Structure 1
Amino acid sequence: MADEQKKMTDGAAARRQASLFNFGFSANVPDSTKIRRSHEASKKNYEPKRKRLFQKSWSSIFDGLQDTDSGMLCAHCVARHTGNTSAATTDSSTFVTGCRSYRIDSIRAHWESPRHLACVAAERCRDRGHGPLDIIVQKLGEQNKHILEKLFNTAFAVLKNELPFTSYPVMIDLQIKNGSDIKNIQGYATSKACSRFATYIAESVKEPLQQAVSESKVLSIVFDGATDSSISEVELVYCRILDKGYPRDILVGLEDLQHAHADGVFDAIGRAMQSFAGENWLDKLVAAGSDGASVNLGNHDSVRTRLQQGRDYIVAIHCVAHRLELGVLDAIKNNNMMQTIQDLLKKLYKHYHYSPKALRELHEIAELMEEKIIKPTRLQGTRWVPHVQKASQSLIRSYQVFITHFEHISQGGPGSASAEVKGRATFIAKKLKDFRVLRFLFFLQDVLDIISRLSLQLQRSDSTCIDFLDSFESAALSLTELSSTPGQRYAGFIEEVRAGNGKFKDVTLAHYDGDLGYEFAKDICDDVIQRLCHRLENNRDKSTEIIQAGRIFDLKDWPRDRLDLANYGHDQIRLLSGHFRIILERNECDVTELQNEWMHVKAHFGQRLRNNPGTNQPYQINTLLAEQNPRLTNILKLIEIVLVLPTSTAICERGFSTLKRIKSDWRSRLTTAMMNHLLWISIEAPSLQEYNAERAVHLWWSKAQRQRRPQFVQLTVPQDVVDQPDSEEQELVDFLMSE
């Protein structure tokens, strides 16, 4: 009862004291508590205004602590991060990027963290002395590296030859059977290992390419789209730079297309170029080459309009090899005899392609006649001209065998073949014995020989805008000659028919009346030349004007007279410098000095051309870029722009051929990232004899998320072997490698 009364008394006293606090009275608080509360309040007001600084005494307390402009750094963690950029132990630490929290508590927390302790341990292992066991570990690593390079060379051989990953284990087993020391490496002999190695091999191939592109002041791109074996739309991108004075096409890579319209293609090109050439690739771009699809080169809402938005100097170039094909098709698509030839070649191909029985009979007849037979080829393909040429050549080469077979089918008894097959055989045999058809076929062969040579010239990787007009002019002259003078193939056919009195290879030809006139050829050749000129010299296209202006750098066209040479090319220099003024000034080119330096260029080569008019060694403007004459720094920048202008997209077609070989129906699950690795190795990597795997092995070793362990085996090393003297270290290494 007394305790309860005491509690009530204490509670009343507390309530009275609380009520007194409301009127300004203070409690009887100890002085120490008042001082502590006052100190905390003042500290709370002072701390936000306080400017903390680095204390020099911290450097002696914490080994490796440094004060820099970016904040406090830990030398151990920075060294570990620099040596291994993928190390997860240092990526998230502020003492690698710079810590501005100048508190000793922050430093202690980092110095006691597992991250820091791991970095210190790694540095001690790296810098420790060269005792017996250290030398053993080093030698063991060198032998492992030697074997790893063999593994990477084997993987490179598989990838360079476009073989599947499953070929890699077989080649490893073969080398082990032949006595190779690859067996000392435990693991890394599976197809999965080959696919992992591909990433680092491709990275080692790509690094110098990216370096060359980053150092280039100007570049151009070439792009084309296709659908691969997995029915995925992809865009293939190449870039062209100048390497030692000569153009070089570099594979940028494949990029998936989200949509096939202009925005989708432009975004795909941007992603590919940004990942390969950096974010400033558009500032270096001077030209873009593609086929003539409207999504690429249309005047409205195309890739071309997006590239030229704010960059009017970028030249959009339609592939000249593609324009060549279109010109030839324009010339002959309305020719009745050409339609007959096309129909004949198509029926010939279908007859043997869809009938194994017919193909077997053809080979039996060829064997009896002791003739070689080539299976007829189709007309459709990437390029029309070479396919028609190849199909017509196979027909002419095995003419007698085809005639014999089709006559046998058409004259067969009931039940030997269907009415449709007999009708087709009768039609083909009739056309093959028509003198007019054969005469035009041989004439077409002469025309296609000229066009094919021109097409091959335009498809060369080192072809520039300076070269292609020469190739076209040469083809035009050959066609002009062919319009009046029969070609080699046509002349040989006419001579044989005349000698055989209307027979060709012992086959009597219909509609032969002794008229061997050649008048029909002139109209066809003239039409082909006219339409090619219309396609290749389209004056409405701005790119044609720029390309023709670039011809002034072709020394073969320079006048030999001094007065004519003095006035040569100034208008073209003015046109080119005005068009590319923005990109020239961005590259610190003094445009006002171009005309003066152009005179120096003409003086440099003009005297040599006059003094050596009959020299067999042609002078080229590319030598100036290799010499880098300091008096010509401005004009060389303009020459570089002209030489990187692309004229053909044939390099993309070759890239798609490589893509088709690698990503077949049996490997259709390859991702775009892996396809890029395989394409870089197949297209850009050196030959197997020239390949050095050291860089790829280094990347594989240093970019791992965890430590590589090529010798991971549970070993039990006898103590007496460990305690061997230094002179017997090699025996210990041999023992470890033999386990």
Structure 2
Amino acid sequence: MATRGRKKRVPTQTNTLHRYLPQNIRENYSFCATLLNDLLDDVIISPENVVCPILSEIINEVVKHKKHDMGSVSEKTLLEWRNKHPWLVIESGVMKCKVCTDMKSKLKLITVWADEGSPNFQYSGITRHTASAEHNNAVIACEQDKQLQTISSQEVIADVSDVCELVDDVDKKLFNTVYYAAKMEIPSSTINSLLDLQTKNGLNIKYTNLSPDTVSEIQTSIEHVLREGLVNDIKSSPVFAMMLDESTDLTVDKRLSICVRYIKAGEPVTNMLVNVHLEDGTAHTIMNCVAHEFERHGIDLANCTSLATDGAAVMLGKHKGVGQQLVSKYSPFCIQTHCMAHRLNLACTDSIKKNDFMIKFREKFSSLYSFISGSSNRTLALKKIQEILEEPEIKIKEPYSIRWLGLKNAVSAVFESFGSVLATLSKFAAEKNSVAKGLLKYFSSYKVALAIAFILDVHNELAVLSCELQKKNLLFSEIKPVMDATVSKLSSMEATDGKCLTSMKTDIEITDDGAFFSGEKLKYHDNMGSEFATVRKDYIKRMKKNISDRFRKTDSDHYNDFCTLFEPQQINISTQEECNEALESLSTFYGYEKTVKVIDGNLIEGLQETVRVVQPLVDPAKVQEEWPRFQGMVKGAYADMPTNKLCKRVILLHNDIIPNIAKLAAIALCLQPTSVECERTFSTQNRLKCKQRASLGNEALNTLMTICMLGPDISKYDPSPAVIYWLRQKRRRKPRLQSAYKPRAKKQKTC
């Protein structure tokens, strides 16, 4: 019991290392005690929960970089250790295990012997590591790999038919089922049901009740084989192009799509390389991610000759954009391109800006969509009226700005069922609905009716151009003809009515009582014809100007040079001087070595500058020497040949006599004018990672996307290479997979 008046003794607190660290840590880390005590003397007394984490971080950094003094261990002793333990590796003052290092990524080892190494030069440490479970597992896995490689070299040969003989037919059926589910974007949870269905139908399917991990491993094996084939094709191509774009998925995680275009059998091929998670959307992060992925796959970025992006500042910024960093650090011969399809969409969007009629036109279509689709009664009323008027049952669509020519779909839906739309609005306006009254007043105008048909005619022509620009393997020589054709067609629409406008004028009856469409009266007066002509002329003028501004000639100088040299008709009509100028331009750009510089590190640990000289892609002197031969071929036997077939013949048949021209032909085929393939990958991504599969991880999503984008049709798929790769990864307990899975019984709790 405390005595009244007695004072409690409070110990004096001092800033010493012993106050913050327990006894065992003080003894183990005594070498840094002096340094830390001096540091603590200069700081104010702080709570332990604040200082302890700081001290732990300092000690860990010191120990991490501490090198053991090997003077106490003789060379003879080290040699004896190596002879007794062949896996022992001594480098930079630490000891490492070669077996654990090789198996680190495969087995996900966390031992220090597989990472930074052990500085403890004592035989007891080697003994403990030899007896550890991680080391023993690594040794077993290494032996299995050696045995499988031996079997592979003796039994597995290149002929696919011989490989099929080595793979069990039951395994093929299993892999075909998993591949079908992934290819058709079916959730992995249904694979066991598909296997049971095949068994019920009489097929010999021994596998049943597979665990999610087993299914994931099979999908990874399929993805590995597909990606390995793609990487090998890219490496065998003389040059390649790259497409980059970023987006967010359902869970608002930022993702980067990397697609490539390369030469295979003399023809351009476009495919997705990888879809990866991004920490942020800065140019530095994107560039590091791109460099890491290409380095991981062993692809030299110096062979990248074209980059296509959506034109965002982070991608094509003049100073620190991804394209600029790519050229200065890795790919000095790369040409940066703002996606042509994105440019066209921006040109259409810009044609609406600062145009009062078009701004209101778009707003009214958005209001009409909200009014009709926002109520089931109004949607049903529109459907019934469409049946009565025998018009197509089309839903009103929203004019999305993020879709290619999103206004076209909305206008087309209203045009196809214009009478039904007017009748529906009239019905609800009679019920004193103020929104319906406002929309009816706008859409029942004669000028608006003509504008709907006219804008649909314009956007139908733009849609043809957009579809051409969205072709998967679009060639550089195909851009200018379709652009000129579209601009010429738009010019003719200033005075000539299109198909939709002609149909609209035919369906509108103008009498002394006014104008009528399908019985609905339109607001009409004599000046509306001239007002519509003004709107028509202004819209065409704006559209042509925006297309001209977005597709500047200065952005396609190299494209024009390649057209001059590799388009047969252009070669035949061009003068010798024009051909020489184009040849000199390309020879100067691709024919001289360039220097790239990469700076790694940070200001704290220090910066390291790496300078690399990239060799030229062609020899300028030999290009000039080979040109007359190629020109003779084009003006002779190849005069009527398309550009793609001409380049293919040069690459496959004449590479021995005109190798530099063949290299330029490969570069020409790899010119990437659009980044549409990235948009296709995002569409696949959003279909896979939907609300029902929102928990898909980054690796699983990338695996499924690879199978969907790269995999052939199920009828042409051969599962044998994937089965062999799956069996090589580890010892498979196939009997367990081929029987009903029975989880272990839970241990009964004892009191």
SS in 1 for 2:337: strand
Counterparts of 1:92 and 1:391 in 2: how far apart (Å)? 62
Q: State the match for 2:744 in structure 1.
A: none
Question: Which stretch shows the higher mean deviation, 514-523 or 204-213?
Answer: 514-523
Instruction: Give 2:291's match in structure 1, choosing from 270, 279, 288.
Output: 270
CA gap of 1:606–1:439, structure 2 versus 1, over 3 A, is same
CA distance 1:199–1:188, shift in 2 (3 Å)? farther
Question: Is residue 2:543 matched to residue 1:533?
Answer: no
1:149 and 2:172 aligned: yes
**Residue in structure 2 matched with residue 354 of structure 1 by the alignment:** 374
Query: Which residue of the partner structure matches residue 749 of structure 2?
Result: none
Deviation at 1:87, TM superposition (A): 9.8
Deviations 1:662-710 (A, max 9, x none): 0112212211111111011001100000001101110110112xx2121
Q: Which amino acid aligns with 1:316?
A: Q
String of CA shifts for 1:401-440, please: whole Å, max 9, x gaps: 211111111111xxxxxx7xx1210111112210111111
| SS of corresponding position for 1:253 | strand
Number of the residue aligned with 2:658? 632
Q: Aligned partners of 1:406, 1:118: CA distance in 2, in Å?
A: 73
Partner of 1:495: 506
Residue 711 of structure 1 aligns with an amino acid whose one-letter code is P
Q: Show CA shifts across 1:222-253 (max 9, x none).
A: 11111111221111111221222222222121
The 5 Å alignment of 1:197-276 reads 197-276=218-297
- Name the structure 2 match of 1:285: 304
Q: Does 1:431 align with 2:442?
A: yes
Contact kept? 1:577, 1:638, Cα under 8 Å: no
- 1:165 alignment counterpart: 188
2:466 aligned with 1:451: no
1:315 aligns with 2:335: yes
Deviates more, 1:478-487 or 1:328-337: 328-337
Matched, 1:177 2:203: no
Q: Give 3-state SS (helix, strand or coil) of 1:631's partner.
A: coil
Mark the CA change 1:320 to 1:52 in structure 2 (over 3 Å): closer, same or farther: closer
Q: Distance in 2 between matches of 1:636 and 1:618?
A: 13
Paired residue type of 2:634: F
In structure 2, the CA distance between the partners of 1:522 and 1:606, relative to structure 1 (3 Å rule), is: farther
CA distance in 2, matches of 1:121, 1:257: 36
TM-score by structure 2 length?
Answer: 0.72
Distance 1:208 1:449 in 2: 40
Structure 1 Cα separation of the partners of residues 226 and 351 of structure 2: 45
Q: Counterpart of 2:733?
A: 709
C-alpha change, 1:620 and 1:491, in structure 2 (3 Å) is farther
Q: CA deviation at 1:308?
A: 2.4
What's the offset of the Cα at 1:143?
9.6
SS in 2 for 1:306: helix
Is 1:513 the counterpart of 2:526 in the alignment? yes
Q: Assess if the C-alpha contact under 8 Å between 1:566 and 1:599 holds in 2.
A: no
Residue 547 of structure 1 aligns with an amino acid whose one-letter code is Y
Going from structure 1 to structure 2, the CA distance change for 1:248 and 1:427 (only over 3 Å counts) comes to same
Give the Cα–Cα distance (whole angstroms) in 1 for the partners of residues 149 and 689 of structure 2. 44
Q: Alignment partner for residue 424 of structure 2, among 392, 405, 421?
A: 405
Unaligned runs of 5+ in 2: 1-73, 87-97, 115-125, 152-163, 595-613, 740-751
CA contact (8 A) 2:305 2:335 kept: yes
SS at match of 2:245: strand
Task: Classify 1:592/1:714 alpha carbon distance in 2 versus 1 (closer, same or farther; 3 Å).
Answer: closer
TM-aligned CA distance change 1:598 to 1:506, over 3 Å: farther
Compute the RMSD of aligned alpha carbons: 4.1
In the other structure, the counterpart of 2:37 is none
Read off the aligned partner of 1:527 and give its amino acid letter. R
Q: In structure 1, what residue type is equivalent to 2:193?
A: V
Instruction: After TM superposition, list the pairs within 5 Å mapping 1:659-678 onto structure 2.
Output: 659-678=685-704
Q: Number of aligned residue pairs: give it.
A: 598
Deviation at 1:189, TM superposition (A): 3.5
Structure-to-structure mapping, 1:59-98, within 5 angstroms: none
* Post-superposition offset of 1:152: 0.5
State the SS of the aligned residue for 1:711: helix
Which of 647, 661, 672 is 1:646 aligned to?
672
SS at match of 2:456: helix
The answer as to 2:619 corresponding to 1:590 is: yes
Deviation of the 1:188 alpha carbon:
5.8
Query: Measured at CA, do residues 150 and 587 of structure 1 come closer, stay the same or move farther in structure 2, by a change above 3 Å?
Result: farther
Q: C-alpha separation between the residues in 1 aligned to 2:172 and 2:425?
A: 60
Please state if 1:338 is matched with 2:350: no
Q: What are the superposed Cα offsets for residues 612-650 of structure 1, whole Å, 9 maximum, x if unpaired?
A: 6xx999963333223243111011112222321211111
Structure 1 residues 355 and 277: alpha-carbon distance in aligned structure 2, compared to 1, 3 A threshold: farther
Please state how far the C-alpha of 1:272 moved relative to its aligned partner.
Answer: 2.6
Q: 1:297 is matched with which residue?
A: 316
The match for 1:8 is none
TM-fit CA distance, 1:547: 2.2
Q: Does 1:605 align with 2:634?
A: yes
Post-superposition offset of 1:714: 12
Q: Choose 433-442 or 261-270, whichever is displaced more.
A: 261-270
Distance 1:545 1:566, change over 3 A: closer
Once the 2 structures are TM-superposed, how far is the Cα of residue 49 of structure 1 from its aligned partner? 9.8
* Corresponding position: 1:547 with 2:576: no
What does residue 579 of structure 1 align with?
A: 589
Indicate how the Cα distance of structure 1 residues 335 and 177 shifts in structure 2: closer, same or farther if over 3 A, else same.
Answer: same
Distance in 1 (CA, whole Å) between partners of 2:720 and 2:357 is 62
Q: Is 1:485–2:496 an aligned residue pair?
A: yes
Partner Cα separation in structure 1 for residue 213 and residue 79 of structure 2 = 54
Change beyond 3 A, Cα 1:188–1:211: farther
Q: What is the alpha-carbon distance in structure 1 between the residues aligned to residue 716 and residue 448 of structure 2?
A: 53
| Larger CA deviation: 500-509 vs 202-211 | 500-509
Q: Distance in 1 between matches of 2:322 and 2:149?
A: 53
Amino acid at match of 1:577: S
The alpha-carbon deviation at position 478 of structure 1 amounts to 1.2
Deviation at 1:172, TM superposition (A): 0.7
> Considering only CA atoms, is the larger Rg found in Structure 1 or Structure 2?
1
Name the SS for the 2:182 alignment partner. Answer: helix
SS of 1:473 mapped into structure 2: helix
